[in-house]
Amino acid sequence: MNLTCPVCECGEFQKPHNANECFQKGENYRLGVGGVSQDSVQAVEWYRKAAEQGHSEAQYGLGNMYYLGKGVSENFTNAAEWYHKAAEQGHSEAQCSLGVLYYDGEGVSQNPIEAVEWYRKAAAQGLSQAQFLLGCMYYNGEGVSKNLTEAAEWCRKAAEQGLSTAQYNLGIMYKNGKGVSENFTKAAEWYRKAAEQGHSEAQCELGFMYYKGKGVSKNFTEAVKWYRKAAEQEYSRAQCFLGIMYQSGRGVSENPTEAVEWYRKAAEQENSNAQYFLGHMYHYGKGVSEDFTEAAEWYRKAAEQGHSEAQKALQKLK
């Protein structure tokens, strides 16, 4: 009988790789660390070796590679299979990812009830993203009976862990009195927490609170500061608001030319208010040369989105 042992290319005996070693090799290849170059194909191979031994982190990692199409062809069905294996072992991120697949109907039949169940399992383990998503399901009444109080509670759990999206949404709930008592001060506090992490929509909302003096003292300079942070991230609503501040000279020196530039940035992103304001600037020659053709074009774009003031302005030009 000829007994052989596995050998590597140099002829030396190979030691069997345990699951942890395989997983770590997969991580090294995925990230390009540990003395190896980044190689998604190799990462997949090593993840697979560990995953087939029941390593939950590797199963989750392999699911991600299939989901993202890295090192393998994108395949949501295979992603779901590997997420499921890891999820059944209690891997919270896999549980959340599997919930997302059930919600979107990718790789599995769309099933919001299943999505809720997997979100709940991950949320119970303290995963902030799952807590937020579970809150969204309660808020919208998807896969579970609508319950704004439950929605706020799950959103709060995620927000308290620092998830900016949850902080922003909790701010909205306080502003609108949904699931919690209306409280502009708390709304501003949660917007600020998200805004300080770079959340553009929260930055814009915080700017608006300063503009209106709701939950904070009215301060146009602060409003401009937060609008600008969001506008520089290409958030069209903030770009439009910043244009208004430059046009009116609130919080900044009046500068119609600068106003036009910010209106244009937002208008090109199909923001109907900005399209209307840009049309107005061309109509009356503010910050740009008077141009009725351009004015009509921007009014028309806004009017086609149902902007009533633009529709009226367009009629006046005819």
**pLDDT, tens digit, for every residue of 39-77?**
999 999 999 999 999 999 999 999 999 999 999 999 999
CB 61 within 8 A of CB 30: yes
Tokens of 181: 């008592």
Beta strands in 42-109, from DSSP E residues, in sequence order: none
CATH, range 162-231: 1.25.40.10
Q: Read off the pLDDT of each residue in 265-288 and give the average, rounded to a whole number.
A: 98
* pLDDT average, residue stretch 203-223: 98
Instruction: Give me the pLDDT at residue 17, please.
Output: 75
Q: Where are the domains of the chain?
A: 162-231, 234-318
Which of the four pLDDT bands, split at 50, 70 and 90, describes residue 6?
A: very low
| Predicted local distance difference test score (pLDDT) of residue 10 | 40
CA 241 → CA 146, 216, 238, 262, distances in Å? 34, 18, 5, 8
154 pLDDT tier (thresholds 50, 70, 90): very high
Whether the pLDDT of residue 7 is over 50: the answer is: no
Fold of 234-318: 1.25.40
CA 42 → CA 14, 61, 173, 289, distances in Å?
A: 18, 13, 46, 60
Calculate what percentage of the chain has a pLDDT beyond 70: 95
Mean pLDDT of 167-195: 98
For residue 318, the model assigns a pLDDT of 76
Model confidence over 241-254: pLDDT tens digits?
Answer: 999 999 999 999 99
